[in-house]
Chains A and B, each alone.
Chain A
Amino acid sequence: MEFTIAKKAKTFTLALIVIGALFTAIGVAMNIGDHHFAQRLIANGLIDSLFFFSIGLGALFFLALQYATETGWYVAVKRVIEAVAGFLPYGIGMMVLIMLVLTLTDGAHIYIWMDPDMTNPASHHYDPIIEGKAAYLNKPFFWIRTVVYLATYYIFWVGFRKRSLEEDKVGGTEIHFKNYKKGALFLVFFAVFSSTSSWDWIMSIDVHWFSTLFGWYTFAGMWVSAMVVIVLLTLYLKKLGYLPKVNDSHIHDLGKWTFAISFLWSYLWFSQFMLIWYANIGEEVVYYMMRIENFKVLYFSMFLINFAFPMLLLMSREAKRHAGILTLVGVIILIGHWLDVYIMVSAGSMGANAHIGFLEIGMAVALAGVFMRIILVNLTKAPLSPVNHPYLDESIHHEI
């Protein structure tokens, strides 16, 4: 069945973009003379680029995971996953743009290691710790890594999409087995790159600090955000009468993923926090000191929201099949994970000067509108159900 964007959805996404742009304009007008304005604007760009890029990447990872494990049940929602993953090229564009801005402004006091003064012994800003990390954290090598990550993701995405559409035409199992190999290969690259890219793009903001758990933590947040978007989109399409092959069991499985990955995220958040709290080593606790000093309420309520809501509301079997509950939890934890990214970037860069105002909300809302619109457009570009996937029949009869 072909998908056409409903008039309501067009109005809604447009309204989000307009309201977001309006809020951003108010935010800019209010703060333009502020000493920290440029830093705040660029930090916001980084937060939203990371957040929306991660959702696209999370969906691509989830798709590759299904290929590599030769899963059957997901086929009915495959095009939904692909539509979310289809945001990736735009997300890559956002990332490249914001990284360019950051590089040209010598890090904009966000990536302070990009500032040449930091590694110049003659300057009074000289920082020997950053000097010691300069072999890894320098502009050219940073760009080499960024380009390699983004290009790898992009190439895999283009291949997956091309073969998925081709499979609709030719059928057979050849494409299926090719996807299986490519999916496994992608996971190998992703396992390394998801960690190292989170060090480069996020952990290097708190440049003195490091945590070996950080990559997993970021990855779990990325995955759960992508899961939520996939669930919400599936429910939306179901409500409009699309996806006749998706039954309660598919929704249940997507709900289980959301539930489980929320736990994974909470577990990693807690592991990182508890170990550092327990060991109480100065150079490690500084990360949490900064968060507790400036973001105490926001930081801990963000954790509680992202942990408690999915745990309590999605525990029972019925709740995971209930569109209303899933939507409520989904929207709440999506906001929760945006806050997570917000604090990740702001705490280490803006610190005490950070606060959520018109600018933050406006930019996030406007980009959410753009994000939704792009995903809906992606849905129109292919039939909503694959026709020749070898596991299609298994997926139609999925029952748990």
Chain B
Amino acid sequence: MADKVIYAMYDDDEVLKDGAKKLVSKGVKVADVFSPFPIHGIDPIIGVEQTRLGIFAFIYGLIGLTLATVGMRYFMIVDWPMNIGGKPSFSYMDNMLAFIPITFEFTVLCAAHGMAITYLIANRTLPGMKAKNPDPRTTDDRFVMELRTADNHDFSVADLEKMLKETGIVELEQKDIV
């Protein structure tokens, strides 16, 4: 039997939250939730992993720091030595204070841009990418919970649908995963 994905639609985020709580307590694994706005407190209920974006931000920041330091040392000290504030010592260390603001700005620039682009790629939401939300109404006033049969071997499709119907859904849809 092909793996199936079940989409249960709700018209209220609180109803969805209570439903998710009930399903999870019975041992059902909820794959994802689609919502027009962040639902407060849904992450721990459906067990969304802690984001690793912070680690990426740190790495991008380090890259920015390195690039800025190497770049400025080359431009200002090696390639075309500059007289900095009347301190013609031509050494990076002795003039480091003057470079700190730019190093800081470049670190922030790289961290922020890197993080934003990583976020867009991870969510497949770069411009031109095909939207992966199951129903366009989830960008307006509806909330969709996604269950996958592959995650829930202990339950049949009929069981899952029965349990979902008890949680106050407004629509139910299932699809085969090709």
A: residues with CB less than 8 A from B are 270, 273-274, 277-280, 399
Contact = CB atoms under 8 A, between A and B. Distances in A.
B87 A274 contact: no
B40 A399 contact: yes
Contacts of A279: 85
Contacts of B84: 278
Contacts, number: 18
Nearest to B40: A399
Nearest to A279: B85
Chain B binding surface, main DSSP class: mixed
A399 B98 contact: no
A277 B41 CA distance: 50
B40 A278 contact: no
Interface residues of B, number: 10
A279 B98 CA distance: 11
B48 to A, nearest CB: 15
Chain A binding surface, main DSSP class: helix
A65 B101 CA distance: 29
Contacts of A274: 97-98, 100-101
B166 to A, nearest CB: 28
18 contacts: A270-B100, A273-B97, A274-B97, A274-B98, A274-B100, A274-B101, A277-B85, A277-B97, A278-B84, A278-B85, A278-B97, A278-B98, A279-B85, A280-B85, A280-B86, A280-B87, A399-B40, A399-B41
Contacts of A270: 100
A277 B87 CA distance: 10
Nearest to A397: B40
Contacts of A399: 40-41
Given A273-B97, A278-B85, A399-B40, 14 more contacts: A274-B97, A274-B98, A274-B100, A274-B101, A277-B85, A277-B97, A278-B84, A278-B97, A278-B98, A279-B85, A280-B85, A280-B86, A280-B87, A399-B41
Contacts of A278: 84-85, 97-98
Interface string B19-50: 00000000000000000000011000000000
A274 B84 CA distance: 12
A281 to B, nearest CB: 10
What 4 A-B pairs come out closest when comparing CB atoms? A278-B85, A274-B97, A280-B86, A277-B97
A297 B101 CA distance: 24
A164 to B, nearest CB: 29
B76 to A, nearest CB: 14
A277 B85 CA distance: 8
B55 to A, nearest CB: 11
Contacts of A277: 85, 97
Nearest to A278: B85
B52 to A, nearest CB: 13
A195 to B, nearest CB: 23
A247 to B, nearest CB: 13
Contacts of B101: 274
A278 B100 CA distance: 12
B44 to A, nearest CB: 10
Contacts of B86: 280
Nearest to A277: B97
Nearest to B87: A280
Contacts of B41: 399
